[in-house]
Chain A
Amino acid sequence: MSQTVLVVDDSPTLVKFVSFSLRASGYNVLGACDGMDALEKLANLESDIDMVITDLNMPNMDGYELIATLRENDKFAATPIIILSSEEDEEDKRKGEEAGATSYLVKPFKSSVLMSEVSRLLG
């Protein structure tokens, strides 16, 4: 059974782009437009999610808050979370790590780089 990845970004282009790369490598994809939307989709999901890929700057609920909320839930305590952000400051990376992110990629990125990170984390 293929693994499922939740992609969270307020840019429909980024969700489409990342979803395409993931589908091409055989993953199932679920898209969400911000942190709130992601939590709602996860609450209504019957199966498990294997990974979350999220942006940081989003309306309603940003990436940091989403990650922190997920980490508070035992169900997602060990789920790999990749941050995709155009923020390249060390401070942002440190905040992402503190919130509980597993990995951090700076936009724009090569789809091949993202896919090697995904397969490394999902094994």
Chain B
Amino acid sequence: MNSQTESSGVGTNHDLHVQLKELANSLSEIVSSIRAAHEPIVESRSKVPEATQQLERIAQQTQDATHRVLDMVESITKREGEIESLLKQLQRVLPATYFRNNSRVKRVIGEIAKKTSDNQNDAYAIMDALQFQDITSQQIEHAMTVLEQVEHRLHEVLVSFGEEDLKAPDEPSRKRSYDPNARYSSDHRG
């Protein structure tokens, strides 16, 4: 019985030794993997602020360009409105005989008024379409927030690797507010 136990104990020790050796090898591989991952994580973390700033610049430039177009569209609609009132003045000052039946003057003034009205409608359609900037800026804000979260996570990983002195990521320069589900559709819902 004793010899059986001793024999079994030797076997158990041997198994334990083999398992510990395998565990040590696995741990060694894990440590190597972590070491190998360290540099890419440092590099990735350092690139996040640059990507966030780039997105911020895209949003700002798109907004500036959209505002320039909006200002121009507003000027166009104002001028079209002025043309409409000038046509009305013209109708008042010209002798009534000019507008009898289907006279050429009547037709031309009618055509100018129609084209002016079409231009106004197109100008409003351009303005409606420019709402894309509000929607895409919300999508960009969402992407920037996700990038900032990734940067914080990578920072936490690096701190857990022992880099306690690593500078924490900067807080965003302003509060972000957006609808993560904002979608642009040319088929305006209203």
Residues of A within 8 A of B (CB): 10-14, 16-17, 20-21, 24, 34, 56-60, 62, 85-88, 105-114
Contacts and interface: CB of A to CB of B under 8 A. Distances in A.
Contact of A20 (B63, B70, B184): B70
Interface residues of B, number: 32
- With most chain A CB atoms within 10 A of its CB, the pick from B70, B134, B138, B188 is B134
Nearest to B70: A16
- With most chain A CB atoms within 10 A of its CB, the pick from B66, B131, B133, B137 is B131
B176 A13 contact: no
Given A86-B183, A110-B190, A20 B177 contact: no
A86 B70 CA distance: 21
Given A60-B175, A87-B181, A111-B128, 13 more contacts: A13-B133, A16-B67, A59-B175, A62-B177, A85-B179, A86-B138, A86-B181, A87-B179, A105-B190, A109-B188, A110-B188, A110-B190, A111-B127
Interface in B104-158: 124, 127-128, 130-135, 137-138
B185 interface: yes
Contact of A17 (B70, B138, B174): B70
A16 B77 CA distance: 15
Interface in B12-52: none
A82 B188 CA distance: 17
A14 B133 CA distance: 9
Contacts of B167: none
The 5 closest A-B pairs by CB, nearest first: A113-B190, A59-B175, A108-B131, A86-B182, A109-B190
A86 B135 contact: yes
Contacts of B130: 13, 17
B84 interface: no
Nearest to B121: A112
29 contacts: A12-B67, A13-B66, A13-B70, A13-B130, A13-B137, A14-B131, A16-B67, A17-B130, A20-B73, A24-B74, A59-B174, A59-B176, A59-B177, A86-B135, A86-B138, A86-B179, A86-B181, A87-B179, A88-B189, A106-B189, A107-B134, A108-B132, A109-B128, A109-B131, A110-B128, A110-B188, A112-B124, A113-B190, A114-B190
